[in-house]
Structure 1
Amino acid sequence: MGSGELSFGVAAGSFLLAFPALFSIVNPIGGALIFSQVLANRTPDERVMLARKVGTYSLLVLLVSLLAGSYVLNFFGITLEALRIAGGLVVAIRAWALLTAPEVQEARREEQASSAIDAKHCAFFPLTMPFTTGPGSMSVAIALASARPESGLSVWAFFAGLTAAAALVALSVWLTYASADRIIALIGTGGARVLTRIAAFLLLCVGVQILSNGILDLLAPLLGERDPR
């Protein structure tokens, strides 16, 4: 297998790992329902404009978390194995909360979005932070980045896949928020909660995968499978 094929495989693998995880935790469809409710007094043009801004800001938040988060933690002496274990736990816990009580998560997000929605500039706060891409989304992004390869061209391919996943999630935020009224008419609140639970289960699987990779990496030197770093 050539280096080009290997890099493409790494990029595709990281995209397939990151997209369902980020899409699940951001939950653009569920967010669109709340977005429509808290901005009911705004004109359609204003809501579309805000949706575009929230999508753009969400992309920036996710990219910073994906590209810099794990390196910042490593700077403070946190090993990659510990980062993967902790990140996997965070992802799994967040997914479990979404899976078992989506109504609680919806109420919390609506409260966050409504707290400062009357402010003149609300696209970044609170609509992007913490409503759309809050601490949970940032934690998931950092956990995903912790699964990066050790070195070489694979690292660049890995982060290319993560970037593509973040861009697609941000685009989905833009489109779903801008079309929130039509989404509500099409699937309703119950349908959105069903989709949320399906996405949460996928996120739980991703969290368990990251956690298991971290445990295996931590135990591998002890088991003699590879030399300690």
Structure 2
Amino acid sequence: MIKTVIFDMDGVIIDTEPVHNYAFNAHFKQLNIDVSPELYASFIGNSTKNIFERLRVQFNLADDVDTLVETKRNLFNDAFDNKEDLYLLDGVEDLITDLHNNGIQLVLASSSATITINRIFHRFGLHKYFTHIVSGEDFPKSKPHPAIFLKAAELAQTPVENCIVIEDSTNGIMAAKAAGIYCIGYDSFHSKMQDYSLADMVITDFKELSFEKIANMKSQ
């Protein structure tokens, strides 16, 4: 029986990708580098630190990684605070409350920085539903490395066979499967150039899920 559901955040709970896209591209313009749409799409699911570690080598950037991350984060925070039309994705809050009210443990495992996660959770009142928050900034390797999901299961004190991951990115799905966890791929209209072929189940609407369906799903 499934006891813990591990949620990704960006693209699953909320679509902050347009804000991240704005912040990254504003920063790329400052750095005078040309990042192709294909290269940018390959970053989905990675932490900002890992992204800039790659970009610093590829474009021979002078700034250190911490400076690059801080600049991008400030651009994101300014845009986030000024963006009024930012909402949770359709149906996800209903699913979260349904699972929470029926005793399913919820854990967040996001590549975003803790400060960004808390900013979003505070804005939308989500802290009360989740027992643990795991940030990708705490791991040397980003998704598709499984470390973040293994840590989420460990904190939840739930064997991986009793967990489910909900993810929207190729890297996130690969990470869940590498961790040995059943993965539901969320293929929404926000998703771009992502591969769901490794997911155990693919949904396009959170109405396809409920406590009853998830609790009785067959794990690995």
TM-score by length of 2: 0.28
TM-score of the two chains, using structure 1 as the length reference: 0.27
Structure of higher RCO (CA pairs closer than 8 Å, 6+ residues apart): 1
Higher relative helix content = 1
